[in-house]
Structure 1
Amino acid sequence: MTVRTARWGRSVSTRWSAGFRSESAREDLLLGGVVGFAGLLEIVAGAVDQHRLVASVSVMGMAAALVFRRRHPLVVLVAVLLLFLIQSVAGVPANAQLATLACALIAAYSVGAHSEFAAAAAGLLLGLLVVVGLIYADGGGPSDYGFGALVVAGPWLTGVLVRRRVVAAADSDAKAAAVAASAQERALKAAEDERARIARELHDVVSHGLSAMVVQATAAAELLDRDPERARAAMHEVQRTGREAMVEMKHLLGVLRPSEGQARHPQPTLDEVAELVRAEQASGRTVSLEIAGGRRELPRGLALSAYRIVQEALTNVRKHAGDASAHVCVRFEPAALQIEVIDDAEPSGSKVADPGYGLAGMRERAQLYGGRVEAGPRTDRPGWYVRATFPLEQK
């Protein structure tokens, strides 16, 4: 029993001390102390001729109640009004002390400023009824009723207006914070999209360039003894492919870190697919190109995506199809652009495996412009196909 009592005492002490840790609680504690001390000084100075004990207890009770005016404003107002009634019944005039009047003003303001409107309205009505009753008991005139109503309603209305401004400011801050958070989210999303775009570009450039260089270097090594001229030509292709990859890499790095006076090069478009096919042919591969339909101007982003899809598809042919031939078809339709890259390689376990990031990157590029990418084994003959379709505005 003793242990439980001690724990309960510590719990109450902890809650009591925690209630006065905030700055507003300390301010209310100081306010109550100042008002109570001022009320006692008034009594000592002779503001109350009779019933000084009742007046002292009343003013100290009002001052103590003010300490809780923010947390329990309606209870504080009821306590102050009740003490007013008690001292009035005991014979202490309601207007004998400025300190008690200050307690009433502060309590009325606190109800308006720190209560919901329904509780604040109830507090105002209660305050008006008590003031009217006190004035009636003292036999006051019409002007006394007006002054009494002003004493209660004035600070109450001030508190309501202050509360509305505080709530409006809080709502404004919340909206500003929401806008800032939304802007930050959009910025993060834009940065994430840009990182994904750059990752796709780097993958396409590095994967295509390195795989071409590996194939050409392997061919040069095989031809070095029996056909030095062809081996030399293959090494020249290695050099050319490496330089082109370096140029594109520098361009991407220039986008990441631009500098004054840096040369700018346009991104490749669908018009450069022919050059891409010639580069494959120069490396010894059998690759053909077909352009069907009426050629038309394409948005630069879409044209770049189409070029990268062809580039990645040829890279996959080189990686997975060995010496198989490939065919690139670019077809301009009235409402769509269709790109197809097919090869005639025999089926193998590696071919049907997931191509990895390359195919995912192709699909992402197509989805940026409302398109789609299909890939899989051919049904008409051995081989693999990659087909991309982009919707176009119909002319």
Structure 2
Amino acid sequence: MRRFSLWLRDRPLVADSMLALALLAIDVLAMGESKSKITYLVFSVLLPLPIIFRRTYPRAAALAVFLISTCATVVHWGFLDESVHPALLGLGIMLYTLVAYVGRREGLAYVVALIVDGVLARWLIHTPDGNDLAFTVLFYALCWTFAEFVGARHAYDTEVAARLAVADYDRERRAHDAVAAERTRIARELHDVVAHAVSVIIVQADGARYALRHDPDTAEKAMTTIAGTGREALRELRRTVALLRSEHAPEELPQHGTAGIAKLVDMMRSAGLQVSLELTGEIDAVTPEVSLGIHRIVQESLTNTLRHAGPDPRAEVRVARREEDILIEVVDSGAPVARLGTIDPPGPNNRIPGSGLGLVGMRERMAVLGGTLSTGRRPDGGWSVRATIPLRRIPDE
């Protein structure tokens, strides 16, 4: 029965047609008291007919029932027929429909029209007592009250549906944002690993190619650096991919620390970059996220120096732990060529074309860590990268 009720709720024309047939059947059963049965039968069919469309076209259906009711009153008066149509219950049904599905203003206007129709009927047909009047008033009052209840229920259902729609949209948006953030995280990590290793390998490969015939020892050293850089990059890629497969594993992040920075600086020195390193404070006693952030900022800055600073590049790296944050400064000798975010023009100082993603990746990483990043050319022509990472996530020591 409940399944049938739900089926009818989704098919208002079917349900209202059944209601109209019920009114027709009741009206036909009362036809015996009529003096003009043909006329009575015609109105028995016409009165319930608009009920079929009461929810599809509520205003038009309500007006049609009212006009047919008024015509029935006048026609029966002409035949001196005082018989009553039980199908006139449709007036109350339409009052309920207007209040529940359209609004109180339309319902109030319909009540006024029903009062006029009732006065006309009593004046023409001369009903002998007030019993029918009391029943009519009570019936219309019940119809209005029930319509208020149903209207409130519809408003509640509409509000719930709207909130569910908003919740679904928010859930889809959050899922989309999560996917986009994850893709950005993966791209940032892979770029930091691959771009650094490939830059070192290209520089060393170019050096080995020129030194192969005239300085085999230098070429062999360059090839050794290439092999070591490649193996280190492969290990880093494997570790990064393993971490990216885990949803929540910050404790598994690599703790690079001062040893990792020193190793990175040595690798860049072997690639031909003159680097001075200054470490201050307990840099090893930070969380893995901060440690990785320090390492990546230094790595990307030195990689860009190697790419863009021309021949005989020099860089100074300073990492200091202060009371509330970690300060990272990387300053290089600079060169009159395009820097981060562009591709170098051809020329004697040209090193390796940049992808334009290094600076973007550093800014994204600082945004995740809640830090700040500033980059730019210095007055002496050098290039400066300055980053601060807050220590609010570092546990008490």
* Superposition TM-score, scaled by structure 2 size: 0.77
Q: Is the 8 A contact 2:331 2:385 kept in 1?
A: yes
Q: Does 1:200 align with 2:188?
A: yes
Q: Does 1:348 align with 2:333?
A: no
Unmatched 5+ residue regions in structure 2? 1-9, 343-353
Structure 1 window deviating more from structure 2 (214-223 vs 272-281): it is: 214-223
Please state whether the residue corresponding to 1:349 is helix, strand or coil. Answer: coil
- Quick one: which of 79, 82, 92 aligns to 2:81? 92
- Quick one: which of 212, 215, 235 aligns to 2:223? 235
The alignment's C-alpha RMSD in Å is 3.5
Please state whether the residue corresponding to 2:313 is helix, strand or coil. Answer: coil
Q: Is the 8 A contact 1:344 1:382 kept in 2?
A: yes
Q: Is the 8 A contact 2:326 2:391 kept in 1?
A: yes
Measure, in 2, the Cα distance between the counterparts of 1:309 and 1:377.
Answer: 17
- Quick one: which of 158, 162, 165 aligns to 1:170? 158
Q: Paired residue for 2:5?
A: none
Q: Paired residue for 1:368?
A: 368
Structure 1 window deviating more from structure 2 (324-333 vs 370-379): it is: 370-379
Q: Paired residue for 2:136?
A: 148
Unmatched 5+ residue regions in structure 1? 1-21
Please report how far the alpha carbon of residue 385 of structure 1 lies from its aligned counterpart in structure 2 after TM superposition.
1.8
Q: Does 1:217 align with 2:202?
A: no
- Quick one: which of 246, 250, 254 aligns to 1:267? 254
Judged with a 3 Å threshold, the aligned counterparts in structure 2 of structure 1 residues 268 and 92 are, in CA distance, closer, same or farther, namely: farther
Q: Does 1:121 align with 2:108?
A: yes
Q: Is the 8 A contact 1:68 1:76 kept in 2?
A: no
- Quick one: which of 323, 327, 335 aligns to 1:334? 323
Please state whether the residue corresponding to 1:138 is helix, strand or coil. Answer: coil
Percent of aligned pairs with the same residue? 30
Measure, in 1, the Cα distance between the counterparts of 2:73 and 2:386.
Answer: 91
Aligned pairs, how many?
Answer: 363
Q: Is the 8 A contact 1:209 1:245 kept in 2?
A: yes
Please report how far the alpha carbon of residue 211 of structure 1 lies from its aligned counterpart in structure 2 after TM superposition.
1.0
Q: Does 1:277 align with 2:265?
A: yes
Q: Does 1:75 align with 2:60?
A: no
In the alignment, residue 378 of structure 2 is paired with which amino acid? R
Please state whether the residue corresponding to 2:312 is helix, strand or coil. Answer: coil
- Quick one: which of 93, 112, 115 aligns to 1:106? 93
In the alignment, residue 365 of structure 1 is paired with which amino acid? R
Please state whether the residue corresponding to 2:54 is helix, strand or coil. Answer: coil
Deviations 1:343-370 (A, max 9, x none): 224x323448736211122122223334
Please report how far the alpha carbon of residue 176 of structure 1 lies from its aligned counterpart in structure 2 after TM superposition.
0.6
Q: Is the 8 A contact 2:304 2:340 kept in 1?
A: no
Measure, in 2, the Cα distance between the counterparts of 1:218 and 1:305.
Answer: 30
Q: Is the 8 A contact 2:340 2:359 kept in 1?
A: no
Deviations 1:104-158 (A, max 9, x none): 34333323332212222333454466557756841224x5443222332223333
Please state whether the residue corresponding to 2:386 is helix, strand or coil. Answer: strand
Judged with a 3 Å threshold, the aligned counterparts in structure 2 of structure 1 residues 66 and 290 are, in CA distance, closer, same or farther, namely: same
In the alignment, residue 384 of structure 2 is paired with which amino acid? Y
Please report how far the alpha carbon of residue 204 of structure 1 lies from its aligned counterpart in structure 2 after TM superposition.
1.0
In the alignment, residue 104 of structure 2 is paired with which amino acid? F
Q: Does 1:60 align with 2:45?
A: yes
- Quick one: which of 145, 158, 167 aligns to 1:157? 145
Judged with a 3 Å threshold, the aligned counterparts in structure 2 of structure 1 residues 370 and 269 are, in CA distance, closer, same or farther, namely: same
Q: Paired residue for 2:174?
A: 186
Q: Is the 8 A contact 2:253 2:292 kept in 1?
A: no
Please report how far the alpha carbon of residue 83 of structure 1 lies from its aligned counterpart in structure 2 after TM superposition.
3.9
Q: Paired residue for 2:6?
A: none
Deviations 1:292-337 (A, max 9, x none): 3564844433332232111111111111123312111113333443
Please report how far the alpha carbon of residue 76 of structure 1 lies from its aligned counterpart in structure 2 after TM superposition.
4.0
Structure 1 window deviating more from structure 2 (174-183 vs 302-311): it is: 302-311
Measure, in 2, the Cα distance between the counterparts of 1:114 and 1:81.
Answer: 22
Q: Paired residue for 2:350?
A: none
Judged with a 3 Å threshold, the aligned counterparts in structure 2 of structure 1 residues 217 and 349 are, in CA distance, closer, same or farther, namely: closer
